[in-house]
Structure 1
Amino acid sequence: MIELILPRFVLWAEEFGDPPDAVLLPGEDWPVQATTSERRRAYTTARHCARRALGRLGLPPQAIPKNLDGTPRWPSAVVGSLTHCVGYRAAAVSTTSLVAALGIDAEPNIALRAGTLTAVADRPELANLDSLSSDGIHPDRLLICAKESAYKAWFSMTRSYRPFPDVVIEFAPGQRTFTAQVRHCRQSEGGACPTEMTGSWTASEGLLLTAVVAPRAKALPPPRERNGVVAIDDVSGPFDEFASLHRQA
């Protein structure tokens, strides 16, 4: 499902449940030692997905511990993102030579609790949601999902926190794409400050998925859309094939 919104130079793995072979490796369990079994299963399967995705990069199975700031600690020269919600877990990875920032998020396609949306969205964002009312999705939840993926991508580049309302989403009418603008961004934050990023979204199986990918190589082929859904051929193979792809771009 997530392959519909990821470019071919981002590799992925997803699960709609918790397979019995999903286990934690040493150094990964400290954040979930005192949590619920449901939370532990989601955390474990997300890292199981991460190892599968890294394997498609030609990397061996390895621990993906959690940093003190809450982000996954990826291997050197790898950029990645994890997500999990009820009934879904996924990971997406690429190389830092190809991708500057990456964020994915999944949410159940259900309405938010009353009062949640107005706390994180401004009036233009709320007005923009009217264009999504006929897609069989809950626009308020999709907005949160888009903000999450944009924030993950932005943080992966800047390593700096921003309040959720500072990530402003605008959905493209009639398309499953969006732009994310980060307000009050300072160039000193991480040495980079992307003020605008683009993302894609899809909805199926009672789920909403969003992805924001900022490629480093401007010559990389842009996404192709098929019936309003981004659909790019995936690339699998070892790490050196990614280097070859980068040289040819």
Structure 2
Amino acid sequence: MRAMDVFTGLPDWLRLECQPIDQLQGDLFPEESQQLARAVPKRRREFTAGRTLARRLLVQAGYPAGAIPADASRCPRWPEGVAGSISHSESQCAAALASLHDCRSIGVDLESIGAVTPDLWPYVFTPAEQQVLQTTTIASPETAKLQATLGFSAKEAFFKSQYPLTKLWLDFPQAEIRQLSARSFTLELTETLPELPRTVSGLFWPVPGQQLLTLLWL
């Protein structure tokens, strides 16, 4: 699966790709391997997939294929001048990147459709969002399942994109879904943060394995 085959609607300056984890088991740099010294095999596979895919995008964008170690908060430490994000599910890995000349930060997230079950809604969604999901469930349980996954994933992508700018760990109710269309969403912050716009928009796509990928940039 190539990015151009699936991810329509992207600006020319942004690169995004999603591939099966099993197909992304390349070599790591010593600095990266050292950070995995105590990692279980599953974590090593996921980390390796993310770095392999991210390096592929870096080379495509004209950057050297260097190490991408994790920082103290376990976020990827991108080369100077690059904004990027990595996400993985049980079977898939996604990476996105762009130049800091084009955006301040990027957030990408992968989720399995249906994993955000109703018992999790009070922790993930505001009362208004929960009401919409409850109403949708009555009319179409499958649609509600998709919307719950999208809402969770959109917030995760936003949290990833805002962290490099604010260094804050936000709670899910601090962002609320305001609008959905066929391939896009809009989030509104429920409180003002000086470093961030009050409203942000992003894109989403289905990916193989009944999964959903969300992306936004600031």
TM-score of the superposition, structure 2-length normalised? 0.85
Deviations 1:94-140 (A, max 9, x none): 00011122111011122324522211211212234439866595322
- Contact (CA 8 Å) 1:28, 1:63: kept in 2 or not? yes
Query: Residue 79 of structure 1: SS of its match in structure 2?
Result: strand
**Equivalence for 2:212:** 208
Match of 2:147 among 126, 130, 139: 139
Give, as a single letter, the amino acid of the residue that structure 2 aligns with 1:118. Answer: P
Residue 150 of structure 1 pairs with residue 154 of structure 2: no
Once the two structures are TM-superposed, the CA of residue 145 in structure 1 deviates from its matched residue by: 0.7
- Contact (CA 8 Å) 1:6, 1:211: kept in 2 or not? no
**5+ residue gaps, structure 2:** none
For 1:88 and 1:121, the matched residues in 2 are separated by: 25
- Contact (CA 8 Å) 1:128, 1:171: kept in 2 or not? no
Alpha-carbon distance change, 164 to 136 in structure 1, aligned in 2, over 3 angstroms: closer
Residue 116 of structure 1 pairs with residue 120 of structure 2: yes
**Equivalence for 1:171:** 179
Residue 46 of structure 1 pairs with residue 65 of structure 2: no
**Equivalence for 2:102:** 98
Once the two structures are TM-superposed, the CA of residue 5 in structure 1 deviates from its matched residue by: 5.5
Give the number of the structure with larger relative contact order, counting CA–CA contacts within 8 Å between residues 6 or more apart: 1
**Equivalence for 2:13:** 9
- Contact (CA 8 Å) 2:50, 2:88: kept in 1 or not? yes
For 1:157 and 1:203, the matched residues in 2 are separated by: 28
* Structure with more of its chain in helix, by fraction: 2
**Equivalence for 1:194:** 197
Moved more, 21-30 or 125-134: 125-134
**Equivalence for 1:220:** none
Residue 182 of structure 1 pairs with residue 186 of structure 2: no
Give, as a single letter, the amino acid of the residue that structure 1 aligns with 2:192. Answer: C
Query: Residue 115 of structure 1: SS of its match in structure 2?
Result: helix
Alpha-carbon distance change, 134 to 196 in structure 1, aligned in 2, over 3 angstroms: same
Alpha-carbon distance change, 201 to 121 in structure 1, aligned in 2, over 3 angstroms: same
Residue 161 of structure 1 pairs with residue 165 of structure 2: no
Deviations 1:173-213 (A, max 9, x none): x43211112233332xxxx2222110111124211010112
For 1:32 and 1:127, the matched residues in 2 are separated by: 43
Once the two structures are TM-superposed, the CA of residue 29 in structure 1 deviates from its matched residue by: 3.2
For 2:144 and 2:196, the matched residues in 1 are separated by: 35
Moved more, 92-101 or 162-171: 162-171
**5+ residue gaps, structure 1:** 215-249
Query: Residue 99 of structure 1: SS of its match in structure 2?
Result: coil
CA root-mean-square deviation: 2.4
Give, as a single letter, the amino acid of the residue that structure 2 aligns with 1:27. Answer: E
Give, as a single letter, the amino acid of the residue that structure 2 aligns with 1:208. Answer: L
Match of 1:80 among 58, 79, 84: 84
**Equivalence for 2:65:** 61
Give, as a single letter, the amino acid of the residue that structure 2 aligns with 1:18. Answer: D
Once the two structures are TM-superposed, the CA of residue 24 in structure 1 deviates from its matched residue by: 1.7
Give, as a single letter, the amino acid of the residue that structure 2 aligns with 1:176. Answer: R
